[in-house]
Amino acid sequence: MFMNIFEDTLKRIENLGKIGDFNKKQLQIFSKPKREHYSELVIGDMKFPAFRIQYNDARGPTKGGIRYHPDVSLDEVRALALWMSLKCAVVDIPYGGAKGGVKVNPKQLSQEELEEISRQYVRAFHEEMGPEKDIPAPDVYTTPQIMAWMLDEFEKIKGGHYPGFITGKPLELGGSKGRDKATAMGAYYVLREYVKSNKIDSRIMKIVIQGFGNAGMHISKILFDEGYKIIAISDSKGGVYDKKGLNIPKLIEYKKKKRKVSGFTKDIKNNDLLELECDVLVPAALENQITKENAGSIKAKIILEVANGPITSDADEILEIGDKIVLPDVLVNAGGVTTSYFEWVQNNTGYYWEEEEVLDKLDKKMTKSFYEIDKKVKEKDISYRDAAYIIAIERILKSEKLRGNA
């Protein structure tokens, strides 16, 4: 069943009115983006709708990735931009939230066409973006190379060097060490602290991961190296299962060679993978994967949301009744935007850090944010998602009030 993720997110926020002691006027600030930009990118006789949405900038310049996907829609980009606003506030970095998208299947484009689309995107929106306005980054199906093309186009238009215009760049153009695995490392730090605070023995935990792109691949490798047993993994073409535990380094080699995970060992369908008996389910693919239709069949005790919006609000209610712990996306995958912030800081100062320093700063930021949320969970007897949303909304509203807007 189709779920409008933007409307679903607004419903979540509206439901927080009483729990978070927010009035309707305050929550109205989150009801729509501050700015929306639309364009149409053209290659030959093909036209691709393109979006850049800046949702809230009370806490600083807006920040958010650019997604290339055939299912990109205006409401999807709105929801992602709203989540970015909340995410930046959750981990307390001085950004607002934005997001971009192009409705295109990049797998059907040549390298030259992909570069042309990327440069056209910057030409369409360059007046609305910049190091002190709105800082893009990679997202689904966009890469450091695409960020490099975009940076080059922006600098040609502006006539200077502006490495802080975009993050997730190659190291040679001002990217940050550690950025490639930052989302996964941030997710690991959150799970590590949850396991530690609840005195769970990680050595006996069974993990299932949906999605084997950048974040899914990195989180699987990190968890494998830390001694966790990963029993199933899927990508867009299928999944594999081994109750004794998958050899992740070998699976990564197989995926790079075959461009799929299926066939590595026993195959499993994606729907069956989500419903496996396990301790931790890691949705690391796209939105709306756990809905009211399958939420009652989820057996995982903990759900670690590495993807954006993998659980609908209706499903959240069912999972909560079933005593499932959901560690929410606005915290769990915030390692990416936090390290993007570190990259932007390095670009603006011209002083670059070693990977160990980047990951140490990320660890401290994610750990602090987890315990702030954990404290509110225990104080109010609410879910981790509600606690994270309340903290984010409080911080944004405080900035809006100081500006005279709330």
Task: Write out the catalytic residue numbers.
Answer: 99
In terms of Cα–Cα distance, which of 299, 101, 307 is closest to 211? 307
Distance CA 395, CA 26 (A): 12
CA distances from 52 to 49, 65, 72, 102 (A): 11, 10, 12, 9
Distance CA 343, CA 22 (A): 34
* DSSP output for 60-72: SSEEEEEEEETT-
Distance CA 277, CA 26 (A): 42
Q: At what angle do helices 335-349 and 182-197 cross, to 10 degrees?
A: 130
What backbone phi and psi angles, to 5 degrees, belong to 233? -145, 145
Instruction: Tokens for 371, please give them.
Output: 């315990």
Q: Starting from the edge strand earliest in sequence, which strands make up the sheet with 96-103, in order?
A: 35-43, 46-56, 96-103, 62-69, 134-138
Q: Is 73 exposed, middle or buried (0-12, 13-18, 19+ CB in 10 A)?
A: middle
Distance CA 239, CA 242 (A): 11
Beta bridge partners of 256: none
Q: Which residues contact 156 (CB under 8 A, 6 or more apart)?
A: none
Residue with tokens 């807007």: 405
